[in-house]
Amino acid sequence: MGTARHRILSAIRAHGPLTRAQLARAASLAPSTVTEVVQALAAERTLVETEIVRSEQRRTGPKSRALAFEPSLSATVGVDFGFRTVRALVADASGTPLADGRAELPADYGADEGLRIARQLVDEVIDRAGVPRPPNAGVAVPGPIDTQHQEVVASSILPGWAGYDSAAFESALGLPVILENDANLAALGEHTYGAGRGVANTLTIKFHSGIGAGVILHDRLVSGIRGGAGEIGHVEVDPQGPLCRCGKRGCLDTFASVPAILATLRPHREVDSVGELLALLEAGDAGAERCIRDAALAVGRVASTAALLLAPERIIIVGAMARAGDVVTDAIREVLERQAIPQAHTVPEVVLGSLDDRHSAMGAVAIGLGAQGWLPEESTPRRPESTPRAG
Ligand SMILES: [Zn+2]
């Protein structure tokens, strides 16, 4: 019975919730043994029955009850790497945060240094959450990610991380890792837990140190080939414009990102941070308001092209510049209304995200839990491992 118990728990840990028939196959056990062991595990509240239905079951017949870990026993870690900070958040199976922490990163930190600091933070938040080490972590990285091969794409956007794959992250962080781009995870976080909940088609724009977008279509995150979907910060706005960190000229990032807004203001204002910029706006500084509004109009022009391509129901604004509120949303809404086809086209709503600066970490929680089988399949990206067929 000891071995059977171990095999059943391992199968659920590897594949997420399973029916008794699936458990018998996955653990290579007789159905009668599965019934007996599951009864004992349910009696001690290690396993619970869930409503989760897999799509293959839906095709073949009525749903059957799946067995999953008791939610308070299962958890995941969402890690969000920024340019200067890293966040780690432990959440239970329902996505409720149990502990959350942040650490500063040195300017232009290398991958190994970033991972070393992240490991300390991850260990600390797991400790504070008071849970056993979770079975996996979702990790948000601020650059292009090849999600299919689970590795950071070589680019001048994130130099020094090229070739780092999920195995390298796993050995550094001490638990299995699923990698995704930070703007994509911001979209998944808002879709699963925030301002996009219940909306099947959204575009989430991270208006920050860099500008990126995450696309949710028909309740699924669209990553594209080599994770390239939604890189709106590198849409060319002016072919003769300033050189961008990506190697092109005149990208949206060079006109509208936080560093670009600060640089535009700096000849006439002493402003070095988003906090100082927002304080000027709050104090009624006309120059600060004009620069923020112009940046938001530039973002809106690119967003309106994306809206004509994808027809999202809602556009969700997250990132540091979301803190400017109406100045940003009004400008983006204005361009969307002007660019929409008169009468024929529904103008998407423009709203602020509702997860503060935890959007990408909560998206990382969503992919972590999705891989464990805790979320409905429709709202999660493709599972990294195959699941046994319904039996
Ligand atoms: Zn660029």
Please give the ipTM for the structure prediction: 0.99
Rounded distance from Cα 232 to ligand 1 centre (Å)? 9
Task: Give the per-residue pLDDT at 62.
Answer: 53
Task: Give the per-residue pLDDT at 381.
Answer: 45
Rounded distance from Cα 34 to ligand 1 centre (Å)? 55
Rounded distance from Cα 238 to ligand 1 centre (Å)? 11
Rounded distance from Cα 248 to ligand 1 centre (Å)? 5
Rounded distance from Cα 155 to ligand 1 centre (Å)? 11
Stretch (H or E) spanning 142: none
Rounded distance from Cα 133 to ligand 1 centre (Å)? 39
> Is the CB of residue 232 less than 8 Å from the CB of residue 211?
yes
Which residues, in sequence order, are bridge partners of residue 207?
A: 211
3-state secondary structure of 257: coil
Rounded distance from Cα 86 to ligand 1 centre (Å)? 23
Rounded distance from Cα 305 to ligand 1 centre (Å)? 17
Q: What is the Cα–Cα distance from 193 to 213, expressed in whole angstroms?
A: 17
CATH topology of domain 75-182+363-379: Nucleotidyltransferase; domain 5 (3.30.420)
The set of residues, in sequence order, having a beta carbon less than 8 Å from that of 51 and lying 6+ positions away, is 63, 65
| Domain range 2-69, CATH class | mainly alpha
Rounded distance from Cα 251 to ligand 1 centre (Å)? 5
Give 341-346's long-range contacts (Cβ < 8 A, gap of 24+).
Answer: 341/308, 345/308, 345/311, 346/311, 346/313
Task: Give the per-residue pLDDT at 283.
Answer: 97
Rounded distance from Cα 253 to ligand 1 centre (Å)? 6
Polymer length of the chain? 391
- For strand 151-152 and strand 177-181, is the pairing parallel, antiparallel, or unpaired? unpaired
Task: Give the per-residue pLDDT at 316.
Answer: 98
Rounded distance from Cα 201 to ligand 1 centre (Å)? 26
- One fold for 75-182+363-379 and 195-354: yes
Rounded distance from Cα 211 to ligand 1 centre (Å)? 10
Task: Give the per-residue pLDDT at 385.
Answer: 40
Task: Give the per-residue pLDDT at 276.
Answer: 97
Rounded distance from Cα 40 to ligand 1 centre (Å)? 57
Q: Could you state, in order of their start, the residue ranges of all structural domains in the chain?
A: 2-69, 75-182+363-379, 195-354
Rounded distance from Cα 290 to ligand 1 centre (Å)? 23
Rounded distance from Cα 117 to ligand 1 centre (Å)? 28
Q: Which CATH superfamily is domain 195-354 in?
A: ATPase, nucleotide binding domain (3.30.420.40)
> Is the CB of residue 336 less than 8 Å from the CB of residue 367?
no
Q: What is the Cα–Cα distance from 21 to 2, expressed in whole angstroms?
A: 20
Per-residue pLDDT tens listing for the chain (391 residues): 557 887 888 788 777 788 999 999 999 999 999 999 999 888 877 788 876 544 444 444 555 788 887 766 678 999 999 988 999 999 988 788 999 999 999 988 889 999 999 999 999 999 999 888 998 999 999 988 999 999 999 887 777 898 899 999 999 999 999 999 999 999 999 999 999 999 999 999 999 999 999 999 999 999 998 888 999 999 999 999 999 998 999 999 999 999 999 999 999 999 999 999 999 999 999 999 999 999 999 999 999 999 999 999 999 999 999 999 999 999 999 999 999 888 776 899 999 999 999 999 999 999 998 887 666 543 444 434 444 444 3
> Is the CB of residue 331 less than 8 Å from the CB of residue 300?
yes
